[in-house]
Amino acid sequence: MSDVKCARMLLEASSRDVEALGGMADATVFADEIFGFQLQQATENLLKAWLALLGDTYPLTHDLDLLFSLLKNKGAGVSSYTALTEYTPYAVQFRYEAIGLDAAPIERQESLGLVGSLLARVQLELRGVEGS
């Protein structure tokens, strides 16, 4: 599969995740573990799509720190999105165990805005690659 085709597929998956997150604003209906998992998945797929657009092979990992680091090493401007690294534990650890009663609740609107901004940025990167 070409890098652009792979990136497009990951972007479509991320778009669906971000759309689902928009419907998960009510913390009384969707636990933070569920919201955090979807947020982590959307972020992971967006970072992998961006790496693919740069012609890089992305690792099979859920580690958002690693994916951001790889993008930084390629010269991608990711610094305004790195706060999303806090969602790495939601991929596996918090997927199977509770966060804990003392944990601060997720700032859902803020997180959704940040991942939505990352989605728009990667879509822009895709348009740039497809237009060249």
Kindly report, residue by residue over 27-59, the tens digit of the pLDDT: 999 999 999 999 999 999 999 999 999 999 999
The confidence band for 65, taking pLDDT boundaries of 50, 70 and 90, is very high
Q: Looking at the 3D structure of the chain, how many domains does it have?
A: 1
Q: Domain of 91: which CATH number?
A: 1.20.120.330
CA–CA dist 75, 88 (Å, integer): 22
CA–CA dist 84, 75 (Å, integer): 19
pTM above 0.85, yes or no: yes
CB distance 29 to 100 below 8 Å: no
Does residue 101 have a pLDDT over 90? Answer: no
CA Rg, the chain, in Å?
A: 15
Does residue 1 have a pLDDT over 80? Answer: no
Lowest-confidence region among 4-18, 25-39, 51-65, 93-107: 93-107
CB distance 14 to 45 below 8 Å: yes
pLDDT at position 95 is 65
Does residue 98 have a pLDDT over 80? Answer: no
Q: Which domain holds residue 36?
A: 3-131
CA–CA dist 30, 39 (Å, integer): 13
Q: For residue 123, how far is the Cα from the chain centroid? A: 13
Does residue 96 have a pLDDT over 70? Answer: no
